[in-house]
Structures are given as structure tokens and as C-alpha cells.
């Protein structure tokens, strides 16, 4: 009996990194649609058929590749953050010096939020109302961010940069507060500060409260 070859959809589900270019468009066009909706003040609850139509694939393909609306939002948020400059955060984490990691990480985070401010604000607002899809995607994003804050705090302690009266846990909590979207948006939208002003303020607060 001949062996049935895998379809493009099967390949995409098992190895997303090898997905056909057409399927790879889905997160990108979905993210573009979300940005446009946010700028117009519309809901981000894009339907599968809208995303499929924009990507030029069948609606069933979107379901098969991403499994659910939650899976689609995971892909969309990841794509948005990557296109907004996630690589700069990765570069900051790779810095040998923990203090440079701190400064570069805070800058990268602010720049990412500034690049996608409208859609990020809507995503974070929706996460409380739609816990299964948008909420789940944001929760997983924030869980990864907490891991990053904890790792940075540990590096500061290991390199003897952390103040002796500050624990790793306390440092991670302070970094979590500073590097979150609410902190950025309160200063950017609420107070009208520029990206550079926010970065300088966050770095100053972090270094004065955590570092020797």
C-alpha cells in the first residue's frame, strides 16, 4: 500500500518553521488587521474567515494550522512582538554584563510597546474579557516576561551588582513593574513622555533602587 504523503497543512502543524510561505502569511496579515482595527477603535475579535481571506487561504486551513482561536491569537501576538523589535530584547539578554542587560532590556521593551501601542492596549484590555483566547495569549506572553525578569535579577545578583539589602525576588518584582505595558502606557499616554524619556526614567529607577 502506498504511503500517503503529508499535506502542507500537516507539515505546517508539525513544523511551523517549515510552513509554506502562504501559511506563514497568516500571523502577519492577522497582526496587520489587528493593528488597523485598534487604530480605528474597533474590536480586535477578527474572525477566522477575515484572517483567512486576508492571507489568501481557506478558512479551514486557519483552523487546521492553529487549532483554535486561542492558537491563532498566540501566533498573532508572537508575530506582532517580533515585528515590533523582539530581536533587540534578545540582543540585550545576550549582553555579558548584567547592567547592560538591564539597560538594553528596558529600552527594547519600551520601544516594542511604543511600536504597537494601540493594539497592545486593546489586547491587554480584552484579555480580562476573553480569557480563553486573547487572555490566554497575553497570559503566556506575560509568563515569559516574568521568566525574563527573574533571569535578569539573578544575573544582577551573580555579578554582585544587586544591592545587598535587595533580594532576587524583590528585584524581579521591581523589574516586572517597570517593564510592563501598564507602566509604559501610564507615562507615554498618560503623561505624554517620549520613548527616550521613559527609557531614561525606567533605567534611573531600576539602577537607584536595585544596583550598588
DSSP letters along 17-44, please? Answer: GG--HHHHHHHHHHHHHHHHHHHTT---
What pLDDT shows up at residue 41?
44
Exposure of 86 by Cβ count < 10 A (0-12 exposed, 13-18 middle, 19+ buried)?
A: middle
- Average pLDDT over the chain, rounded to whole? 80
What pLDDT shows up at residue 35?
52
Q: Could you tell me which of 5, 161, 174 has the C-alpha nearest to residue 95?
A: 161
- Give dist(CA 180, CA 191) in Å, integer: 16
What pLDDT shows up at residue 79?
83
CATH 1.10.357 domain extents, the chain: 82-210
Please report where in the chains the cell 492558537 appears, as a residue.
71
- Tell me which residues of the chain have a pLDDT lower than 50: 1-13, 15-27, 29, 36-44
Pick the CATH number of 82-210 from 3.30.70, 1.10.286, 3.40.1710, 1.10.357: 1.10.357
- Give dist(CA 33, CA 23) in Å, integer: 16
What pLDDT shows up at residue 132?
73
> What would the pLDDT profile of 35-57 be if each residue is shown by its tens digit?
544 444 444 455 566 666 666 66
CA dihedral 174, 180, 183, 187 (to 10 degrees): 130
CA dihedral 173, 175, 179, 183 (to 10 degrees): 60
- Give dist(CA 128, CA 145) in Å, integer: 18
Amino acid at each position: 500500500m502506498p504511503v500517503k504523503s503529508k499535506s502542507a497543512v500537516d507539515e505546517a502543524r508539525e513544523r511551523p518553521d517549515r510552513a509554506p510561505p502562504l501559511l506563514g502569511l497568516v500571523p502577519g496579515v492577522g497582526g496587520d488587521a489587528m493593528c488597523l482595527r485598534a487604530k480605528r477603535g474597533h474590536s480586535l475579535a477578527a474572525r477566522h474567515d477575515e484572517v483567512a481571506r486576508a492571507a489568501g487561504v481557506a478558512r479551514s486551513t486557519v483552523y487546521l494550522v492553529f487549532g483554535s482561536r486561542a492558537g491563532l491569537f498566540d501566533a498573532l501576538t508572537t508575530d506582532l512582538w517580533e515585528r515590533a523589535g523582539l530581536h533587540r530584547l534578545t540582543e540585550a539578554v545576550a549582553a555579558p554584563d548584567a547592567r547592560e542587560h538591564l539597560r538594553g532590556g528596558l529600552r527594547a521593551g519600551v520601544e516594542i510597546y511604543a511600536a504597537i501601542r494601540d493594539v497592545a492596549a486593546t489586547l491587554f484590555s480584552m484579555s480580562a474579557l476573553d480569557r480563553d483566547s486573547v487572555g490566554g495569549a497575553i497570559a503566556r506572553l506575560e509568563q515569559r516576561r516574568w521568566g525574563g525578569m527573574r533571569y535578569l535579577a539573578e544575573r544582577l545578583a551573580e555579578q554582585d551588582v544587586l544591592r545587598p539589602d535587595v533580594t532576587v525576588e524583590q528585584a524581579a518584582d521591581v523589574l516586572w513593574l517597570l517593564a510592563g505595558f501598564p507602566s509604559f502606557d501610564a507615562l507615554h499616554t498618560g503623561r505624554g513622555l517620549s520613548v527616550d524619556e521613559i527609557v531614561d526614567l525606567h533605567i534611573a529607577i531600576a539602577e537607584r533602587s536595585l544596583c550598588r
